[in-house]
């Protein structure tokens, strides 16, 4: 696979990035592609390693490593290196319906497990994936694939995020007639409104949706199933229903002063900005503006990082991120060996931007909110924080139990607080409308993706809890197999 000595002959080269202070002035993506020659060299680095851990998708040391889609990485890297773009694209799409999405927003579990990374730099799998699919679109190699035959079976998919779209693609190619219902005004779910444009420009989501439409999938926007359209109607009109509503029930903080004006959930903040930008390039003012404000983000995950990136582009006065847990080490600890996911400190794109803008890392580790302080108008003016200390781990989850350290309270100026501490599961009204059971974490309970109601299936974050886009695609593909088996008595997916 690749060039026999490629990993020795060539060094790793990522897609370049625009300088942080330049890119916070706009909302477009900031990673231009490598040249064709450079990209082929990066494909050449994918060595014939014998056991490609990159496509394993297994859980090691409490975290997943390797691609959950079992992407055929060595195969399409070799085809990239030898210049066989059409074949590389075919092998890429074999396991991944939407490489243009994962190539932009996936944390690259594949690269963490790359054998090249054991004693050096891993292969640029994620960038290579994106390079192949974008060149495929540019050369007109990706065209609508309209099924030659239809089975006569009708399927309704509720939710148009990555899980719903992946399932729709699979089931449509099988020959079933698929209708996707979305409560928002645009198709894409998390891809459209949960991920800011500088990470995933929405023209790429629209491009794929238009392709799926041309292949025969029907999309219906502005319909909230369980409210605007009943479960009974769907079950009467369709042979099967697949619930891919996501995990939209956000966790909140419960501290004195929570009712203050200026406190918002992260997804509320990101969605409002995303809609306003698409509708008017923010000219309509229908968003939560961080301009001129001291911003504090609670939560250390990807969503919190995106809030920082958006606040910087709004023109915030300052921005800090409160992270509950201690800062991770810069190098792998002894008990976190390859090919486990590396538990090390990493700067996300927005951290680099905040450092460039304000001269310091926005993250404040081992810290949480103690109280919110308001002015005479009830508007947020400051956040009282407190330091945390971890002394023991939870026996079931293995997570560090953090406790407050008395006497460590501090006051930080803040007029906009964004809560990004994760999600509890899907909103309950959909499960109640269909009468399906939920598990202890309020996710939709399934056996082989089938819920407790005959003909009703579930996939994605609604079933497994908050996760990655790549996992949502895997869930959609796996659920499609079970829906197909239910309808046909066997499956060829």
User: Which CA distances in Å does 6 have to 14, 41, 43, 278, 479?
Assistant: 16, 8, 8, 43, 39
The pair of structure tokens assigned to 243 is 């619930």
Separation of alpha carbons 344 and 349, rounded Å: 16
Query: Residue 83's CB: how many other CB atoms inside 10 A?
Result: 11
Q: What is the pLDDT along the chain (493 residues), one digit of tens a residue?
A: 678 899 999 999 999 999 999 999 999 999 999 999 999 999 999 987 888 999 999 999 889 999 999 999 999 999 999 999 999 999 999 999 999 999 999 999 999 999 999 888 999 999 999 999 999 999 999 999 999 999 999 999 999 999 999 999 999 999 999 999 999 999 999 999 999 999 999 999 999 999 999 999 999 999 999 999 999 999 999 999 999 999 999 999 999 999 999 999 999 999 999 999 999 999 999 999 999 999 999 999 999 999 999 999 999 999 999 999 999 999 999 999 999 999 999 999 999 999 999 999 999 999 999 999 999 999 999 999 999 999 888 887 778 999 999 999 999 999 999 999 999 889 999 999 999 999 988 999 999 999 999 999 999 999 999 999 999 999 999 999 999 999 999 999 9
* The overall pTM is greater than 0.75: yes
Q: Which CATH superfamily is domain 252-421 in?
A: FAD/NAD(P)-binding domain (3.50.50.60)
Query: Residue 325's CB: how many other CB atoms inside 10 A?
Result: 13
The pair of structure tokens assigned to 247 is 């995990």
Regarding beta strands 363-365 and 318-323, do their DSSP bridges make them parallel or antiparallel, or are they unpaired? parallel
Within this chain, domains 6-138 and 154-248+424-488 share the same CATH topology: no
CATH number, domain 154-248+424-488: 3.50.50.60
Per domain, the residue ranges of the chain are 6-138, 154-248+424-488, 252-421
pLDDT at 58: 94
pLDDT at 398: 78
Separation of alpha carbons 424 and 267, rounded Å: 13
CATH number, domain 6-138: 1.10.1060.10
């Amino acid at each position: 696979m690749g060039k026999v000595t490629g990993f020795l002959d060539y060094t790793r080269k990522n897609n370049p990035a625009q300088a942080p202070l330049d890119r916070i002035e706009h909302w477009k993506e900031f990673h231009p592609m490598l040249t064709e020659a450079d990209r082929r060299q990066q494909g050449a680095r994918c060595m014939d390693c014998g056991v490609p851990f990159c496509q394993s998708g297994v859980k090691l040391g409490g975290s997943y490593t390797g691609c959950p889609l079992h992407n055929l990485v060595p195969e399409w890297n070799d085809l990239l290196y030898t210049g066989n773009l059409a074949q590389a694209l075919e092998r890429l799409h074999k396991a991944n319906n939407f490489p243009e999405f994962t190539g932009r927003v996936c944390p690259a579990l594949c690269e963490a497990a790359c054998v090249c990374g054991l004693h050096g730099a891993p292969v640029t799998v994620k960038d290579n994936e994106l390079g192949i699919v974008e060149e495929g679109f540019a050369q007109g190699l990706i065209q609508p694939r309209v099924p030659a035959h239809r089975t006569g079976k009708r399927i309704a998919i509720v939710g148009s995020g990555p899980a719903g779209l992946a399932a729709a693609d699979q089931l449509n190619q099988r020959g079933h007639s698929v209708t996707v219902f979305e409560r928002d005004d645009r198709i894409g779910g998390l891809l459209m409104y949960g991920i800011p444009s500088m990470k995933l420009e929405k023209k790429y989501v629209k491009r794929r949706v238009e392709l799926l439409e041309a292949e025969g999938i029907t999309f219906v926007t502005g319909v909230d199933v369980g409210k605007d359209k009943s479960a009974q109607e769907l079950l009467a009109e369709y042979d099967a229903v697949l619930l891919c509503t996501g995990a939209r029930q956000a966790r909140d903080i419960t501290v004195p002063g929570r009712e203050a004006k200026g406190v918002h959930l992260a997804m509320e903040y990101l969605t409002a900005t995303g809609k306003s930008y698409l509708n008017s390039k923010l000219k309509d003012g229908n968003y939560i503006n961080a301009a001129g404000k001291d911003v504090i983000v609670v939560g250390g995950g990807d969503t919190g990082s995106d809030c920082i990136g958006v606040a910087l582009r709004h023109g915030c006065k300052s921005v800090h991120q409160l992270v509950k847990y201690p800062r991770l080490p810069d190098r792998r600890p002894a008990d976190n060996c390859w090919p486990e996911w590396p538990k090390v400190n990493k700067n996300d794109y927005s951290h680099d931007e905040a450092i460039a803008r304000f001269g310091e890392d926005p993250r404040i580790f081992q810290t949480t909110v103690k109280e919110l302080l308001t002015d005479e108008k009830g508007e947020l003016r400051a956040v009282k924080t407190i330091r945390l200390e971890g002394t023991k781990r939870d026996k079931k989850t293995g997570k560090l139990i953090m406790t407050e350290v008395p006497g460590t309270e501090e006051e930080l100026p803040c007029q906009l607080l964004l809560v990004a501490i994760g999600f509890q599961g899907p909103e309950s009204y959909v499960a109640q409308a269909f009468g399906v059971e939920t598990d202890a974490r309020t996710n939709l309970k399934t056996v082989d993706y089938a819920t407790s109601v005959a003909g009703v299936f579930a996939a994605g974050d609604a079933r497994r809890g908050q996760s990655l886009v790549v996992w949502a695609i895997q869930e959609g593909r796996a659920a499609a197999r079970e829906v197909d088996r239910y309808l046909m008595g066997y499956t060829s997916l």
